[in-house]
Amino acid sequence: MSREQSDDYRSFLLLDEISRDNKVTQRALSKRLGLALGLVNSYIKNLAAKGYISVTNIPPKRYVYFLTPKGFFEKSRLAYHHLQNFTNLYKFARQDFQHLFRNLYDKGIRSIIFCGVDEITEIAYLSLQEVDIRLVAVIDMTDSRKRFFGYTIEAIDNLKDKEFDMVIITSFSSGDKFKERLLKNRVPEEKICDISSGGWLNRVR
């Protein structure tokens, strides 16, 4: 995702949250969206400067945010733009995951692990159903115990208990961190496939 796309997406998320709750605090927005408090403050100021939101001060030291008509239009525009980007992302990702899994199957790979969970992981899972490769586990940095298509998301450090042919890093933004952690857990580099290292990631604009 380019810097401009990232800015647009964060602006959309902020406008969407404010449209749902105009008394939400910047600290709450920071927690909900996983953004630094200072960054939220910067975006709020920018949205207000562009006329997308109005800010009213109410005591004690509280603010109420309102989307202006211009802000509602911008929110709709960004939502449509984000949907287009996701459609392009899905198209390229699905094609390349299909190609990747077929190549792995031809090379004798029969069992894999997904490492890193985001929207890309879901596309990978759907594409995997088209080949006879078994998904052994789904792992992430920490043991969240959340569920992913019937799998419990486990910590990378649990790898020592798994038998697999290949680990597929299925994360947009943290490929390097995941690879470093996998190597520390003594996963051979030739058994690690990082989708963020190139290919369709560079084609989604």
| Single pTM value for the model | 0.61
- What is the sign of the dihedral through the CA atoms of 34, 120, 6 and 87? negative
Average pLDDT of span 63-79: 90
- Residue 162: closest CA among 171, 172, 170, 152: 152
Same domain, 127 and 195: yes
Q: Provide the domain limits for residue 93.
A: 88-202
Total domains, the chain: 2
Q: How confident is the model at residue 2 (pLDDT cuts 50, 70, 90)?
A: low
Tokens (6 digits) for 158: 């649990």
The amino acid occupying position 166 is: M
Nearest to 17 by CA among 61, 50, 53: 53
Tally of CB atoms within 10 A around 159 = 20
Residue 21's CATH number = 1.10.10.10
- Whether residue 112 contacts residue 135, with contact meaning beta carbons closer than 8 Å, is answered with yes
- Can you give the CATH number for the domain in which 151 is found? 3.40.50.720
DSSP E strand boundaries for the chain = 53-58, 62-67, 111-115, 134-140, 147-148, 151-152, 154-155, 166-169, 192-194
Residue 12 lies in a domain: yes
Give the pLDDT mean for 125-131: 93
- If asked whether residues 21 and 60 sit together in one domain, one would say yes
The tens digit of pLDDT for each residue in 21-52 reads 888 889 999 888 878 899 999 999 999 999 99
- Contact predicate 5/85, CB 8 Å: yes
Q: What local confidence, expressed as pLDDT, does residue 60 receive?
A: 67
Question: Do residues 24 and 93 share a domain?
Answer: no
Q: Are residues 54 and 149 in the same domain?
A: no
Instruction: Report the C-alpha gap between 147 and 171 in whole angstroms.
Output: 17
